[in-house]
Structure 1
Amino acid sequence: MSTFLRHNAVFLGGLGVGILIGVGGSVVYFRLTTNIDRELRLISESISSLRKEVNELKEKVPSRRRRSPAAFYSGTASSSGETDDDAYEDAYGGSDYEFHNFHDLQTEIHTQMNAKIGREEQNDNTDIGDDRDTFFSSIDKLFDGTDEDKLKAYEMLQNSRGKFQFENDVEYCWRLAKSTYQVSQIEGSRGELEKKKQLVYASKDLSQKAVALDEQCSNAHKWFAITLGSLGEYESTQEKIKNGYIFKEHIERAIQLDPTDPSNHHLLGRWCYGVYMLSWIERKAAATLFATPPTSTAEEALSHFLEADSLKPGKWKENLLYIAKCYYQMSKYKEMTEWVDKAAAVPVISQDDKTAEEEIQSLMKYRVK
């Protein structure tokens, strides 16, 4: 279950707990060898050089004019008799970036990726097989790989639009939403915060379209919840609270459709944990918006994390960490010690694992013998 749940509040969109989910429902497990690490450092240096050149070019080009943000939520949708598609459009709105701006960004990222790995710009469909299922399988494997693999997946998905006529294919749409989200996190880790924001909103729009294409697709609901949660750092407190409810609805729907996906249970656990950890001020803010503010307990959150672990035992570092955190909140330090040790034993693979490892180390001082 790679690339998961870190920077975006689970109650979510913004009451403070991070969501970053991943990768088609499988945890990323790999160790970076010394050679790969060295190659990635060289790639990073190449990207930095390329970024400098791009910035110099940008200074010569007038900045694009953006329209003001569109409302993310409309109370009129629930009372009208429109179709499902119309309801989604009214309730969830569009992003605050013009569509052509996103395509410009896609072109820039595409160029960077090709330069980074020493290839010339390509317009053909290299690495794309003729079989749809084979193609999706190759994309899912790349989702579980390095940042370079994730960028390659994004490039392949972009190149495949015309060949497979994927525009109205839900399986393509949620994967492109996921891939766009992954690239947004990569750009954010590089300090490209404006690119990250554009890509985050684009990923939300794509996942919203996936849900509209097929309400029975679990991954569409999951990725709509994830990308919606990722808007937390850009939305107002009121919108973040409202989005938290929408997040929970879509994760619960994803679980109904696919109860065997551990990432769905982890996400619901994160929502419960986020609600349990709300401050007094945040609870008061929620109470002003809703007659019955959300409530949860550490025990409820723990049940979801344990369910996720039962489906993917002992291998998801972040999920193991949250099990330990729940036991800590319950003052069960012996159980906390057991699970924090399990979390610490899982190799650090992704940026999310690095962040989780920092929290794991902070819990170590509470271990008991």
Structure 2
Amino acid sequence: VEEVIEQADYLYGSGETEKLYRLLVQHKNSDDAELLWRLARASRDLAQLSTTSAEKKRQLTYESLECAKKALEKNESNFAAHKWYAICLSDVGDFEGIKTKIGNAIVIKEHFQLNPKDATTIHLIGIWCYSFAEMPWYQRKIAATLFATPPTSTFQEALRYFHMAEEADPNFYSKNLLFLGKTYLKLNNKKMALLWLSKAKDYPAHTEEDKQV
């Protein structure tokens, strides 16, 4: 198992998304949480590729959630399993209705709060805040009828989390730079928006997500 994990981490670091998935999918029936959360991440990364069809993307997104769920079942104290379960649950929400998306968001925040010092985790709480801050009025109305206390947030709160993520691990993720720019735009601060959007544009592209930014 250790050898496979070592190989998987090397492929992940090299950006070999398809090779990594092919290596790990052979171990989908494993009982090892470390292997399973890596498979969840690899499935998600493959789903993000521009060459992946819409149907395949959906299939991989649900598969990634199953792997992360299994990783959690095998080892509930594994933080990476919690983190990727939350990320994959968020992705699945994009294929489901508003009720599921909001319900999932509440669960997601609970999983993220298990490791408040992890930059990716802080970034994802920022995304959570951003998505609720820009929720259209009709979705807010639906949320109010579905939940006694529907989640709410502001762009200021989202901005705070994006900055905290940057402080925890400077320049760690192109999307964090992008969302700092987008949030400043929402707050009508064009000067700061331009600064962060320029940083996002100049970020070296290692992954498909970086290229899309």
* Structure 1 length-normalised TM: 0.54
Match of 1:138 in 2: 7
Secondary structure of the residue that 2:113 maps to in structure 1? helix
Q: Partners in 1 of 2:158 and 2:10 — Cα distance?
A: 30
Match of 1:154 in 2: 21
In our comparison, the structure showing a higher alpha carbon Rg is: 1
Structure 1 pair 174/289, CA: closer, same or farther in 2 (3 Å)?
same
Match of 1:128 in 2: none
User: C-alpha offsets along residues 252-289 of structure 1, whole Å, 9 cap, x if unaligned?
Assistant: 22x25xx2x21111111100111111111111111011
Q: CA deviation at 1:332?
A: 2.1
Give the AA of the match of 1:145.
Answer: S
Q: Does 1:271 align with 2:128?
A: yes
Q: Does 1:216 align with 2:87?
A: no
Q: Does 1:167 align with 2:167?
A: no
- Structure 1, unaligned runs of 5 or more: 1-130, 357-369
Does the 8 A contact of 1:207 with 1:224 survive in 2? yes
Structure 1 pair 350/172, CA: closer, same or farther in 2 (3 Å)?
closer
Q: Partners in 1 of 2:180 and 2:55 — Cα distance?
A: 34
Match of 1:63 in 2: none
Does the 8 A contact of 1:174 with 1:223 survive in 2? yes
User: C-alpha offsets along residues 64-92 of structure 1, whole Å, 9 cap, x if unaligned?
Assistant: xxxxxxxxxxxxxxxxxxxxxxxxxxxxx
Equivalences for residues 77-116 of structure 1 within 5 A? none
Q: CA deviation at 1:150?
A: 1.4
Q: Which has the higher contact order (CA 8 A, sep 6+)?
A: 1
Q: Partners in 2 of 1:182 and 1:170 — Cα distance?
A: 18
Q: Partners in 1 of 2:7 and 2:95 — Cα distance?
A: 33
Q: Partners in 2 of 1:252 and 1:175 — Cα distance?
A: 20
Secondary structure of the residue that 1:348 maps to in structure 2? coil
Secondary structure of the residue that 1:296 maps to in structure 2? coil
Structure 1 pair 191/251, CA: closer, same or farther in 2 (3 Å)?
same
RMSD: 2.1
Q: CA deviation at 1:297?
A: 1.4
Give the AA of the match of 2:36.
Answer: C
Q: Does 1:203 align with 2:72?
A: no
Give the AA of the match of 1:154.
Answer: Y
Q: CA deviation at 1:321?
A: 1.3
Does the 8 A contact of 2:46 with 2:52 survive in 1? no
Equivalences for residues 28-107 of structure 1 within 5 A? none
- Structure 2, unaligned runs of 5 or more: none
User: C-alpha offsets along residues 24-63 of structure 1, whole Å, 9 cap, x if unaligned?
Assistant: xxxxxxxxxxxxxxxxxxxxxxxxxxxxxxxxxxxxxxxx
Equivalences for residues 149-298 of structure 1 within 5 A? 149-159=16-26, 161=27, 167-186=30-49, 189-190=50-51, 192-253=53-114, 255-256=115-116, 259=117, 261-298=118-155
Match of 1:37 in 2: none
Q: How many residues align?
A: 213
Does the 8 A contact of 1:225 with 1:251 survive in 2? yes
Structure 1 pair 342/192, CA: closer, same or farther in 2 (3 Å)?
closer
Structure 1 pair 167/238, CA: closer, same or farther in 2 (3 Å)?
same
Q: CA deviation at 1:315?
A: 4.7
Does the 8 A contact of 2:48 with 2:208 survive in 1? no
Q: Partners in 2 of 1:340 and 1:154 — Cα distance?
A: 31
Structure 1 pair 306/222, CA: closer, same or farther in 2 (3 Å)?
same
Does the 8 A contact of 2:98 with 2:139 survive in 1? no
Aligned to 1:330, which of 187, 205, 210?
A: 187
Does the 8 A contact of 1:210 with 1:220 survive in 2? yes
Q: CA deviation at 1:176?
A: 1.3
Aligned to 1:303, which of 160, 165, 180?
A: 160
Secondary structure of the residue that 1:234 maps to in structure 2? coil
Q: Does 1:344 align with 2:201?
A: yes
Equivalences for residues 112-123 of structure 1 within 5 A? none
